[in-house]
Amino acid sequence: MLKTLKSLCLIDATSGDETAVREFICKEVKDFCECSTDNLGNLICFKKGKKTPNKKIMLDAHMDEVGLIIKAITPDGYLKFQTVGGIDTSVMLSRRVLIENEINGVIGCKPVHLSSADERKKLPKEENLYIDIGASSRQEAQELVSVGDRAVICSEYIENGDKIISKALDDRIGCAVLIDLIKNYDEYDFYGVFSVQEEVGARGAKVATFGINPDSAIVLEGTTAADIADVPSDKTVCVLGNGVAVSFMDKGAVYYRPYYDFALNSNIKCQPKSAVAGGNNSSVIHLSRDGVKTVALSVPCRYIHSACSVADKNDILSARELCEYMINAIADGSIE
């Protein structure tokens, strides 16, 4: 599973441009389930198990990552861009980017020695940033890139003991867990959705859920961990190494309480996500048709939505174990 995660993280796939990840996942799972792709680009998998569950169960993990999209080229050859998903300006400054998997550039802004005293005290605005690809004119830049091209901030995949450092852990972690379940779990039938465009508003999951019409859903995600220096314990959200985080509420959903309680009362290492913040595909999944009982299992990630997110391998294994546990409990009626 961790080998698969590395391969997934090294693929570039911003929202609306998930083809490369989808093709990789198709190759991984095609011999273990029935696969189809809907009109929006979601990969829909049906895994046939030994038994049919009491409830139709859907698992969701999104394929897209945050990134950039080129919106204009200046007369002197610089690229203006819009972020795709939530990226803080501080993680973009002077970072190398890769455009359409082939053109290298760097995100630039006014040099500090040309900035005023007031400008030095605050981050530059996103609108004042640009990508420098070494072009000296608009014409020269247009020979290499086009408006609408996508870019990601470059990153390596590094294993440092139990920690993983990489871009796109949100949500290639969820994709890796779901791939492993499709390959190795066969007790009950379930649907697995590898969804598109989560980072720009949970769009893919809305379409997929309507089509599948599940009774219950398990959302596999990455979430913010703030267990870092100078953050008080009541603000840490969740802690690396303490297991997968189970949400009770966020900005998009109030989660189905019996599933939340059941997960936390298991013998599997997990923790509550102790902040009502952020959101994920649950926001649209739980509202589909006449409602879907939903739980979110999220792996803690420090520095999320950056090129150097950090996750703990043990939390990923915890997510895999708890997800299987929840499938069994929902399927056999242990939780209503």
* Contact yes or no for 327/276 (Cβ under 8 A): no
- pLDDT at residue 128, rounded to an integer: 87
In order, the DSSP letters of 109-170 are: ---GGGS-HHHHTSPPPGGG-EEE-S-SSHHHHHTT--TT-EEEE----EEETTEEEES-HH
* pLDDT of amino acid 265: 95
Instruction: Give percent of the chain above pLDDT 90.
Output: 88
The reported pLDDT for the residue numbered 196 is: 98
pLDDT confidence of residue 127 = 87
- 80-106: per-residue pLDDT in tens? 999 999 999 989 999 999 999 999 999
Q: Which of 18, 28, 198, 321 is catalytic?
A: 198
DSSP calls for 274-335: -S-----THHHHTTSTT--EEEEEEEEEBTTTSTTEEEEHHHHHHHHHHHHHHHHHHHTTS-
Portion of the chain with pLDDT greater than 70, in percent: 96
Instruction: Give pLDDT, residue 229.
Output: 83
With the C-alpha atoms ordered 183, 187, 193, 199, is the resulting torsion angle positive or negative?
negative
pLDDT on residue 311: 98
Render pLDDT for 184-225 as a digit per residue (tens, 0 to 9): 999 999 999 999 999 999 999 999 999 999 999 999 999 999
8 A C-beta contact, residue 252 and residue 279:
yes
- For 22-63, how does the pLDDT look when each residue is reduced to its tens digit (9 = 90+)? 999 999 999 999 999 999 999 999 999 999 998 999 999 999
Q: How confident is the prediction for the chain on average, in pLDDT?
A: 94
pLDDT at 125: 83
For residue 90 the two structure tokens come to 């501080």
pLDDT at 269: 97
**Higher pLDDT residue, 38 or 233?**
38
Q: How many CB atoms lie within 10 A of CB 80?
A: 16
198 in catalytic set: yes
pTM of the predicted protein model: 0.94
DSSP tally for the chain: helices H, then strands E? 9, 17
* ∠ CA 227-232-238, rounded to 5°: 35
| pLDDT at 115 exceeding the cut of 70 | no
Per-residue pLDDT at 117: 65
Domains of the chain listed by start with CATH number: 2-65+167-331 (3.40.630.10), 67-153 (2.40.30.40)
pLDDT in tens, 135-178: 999 999 999 999 999 999 999 999 999 999 999 999 999 999 99
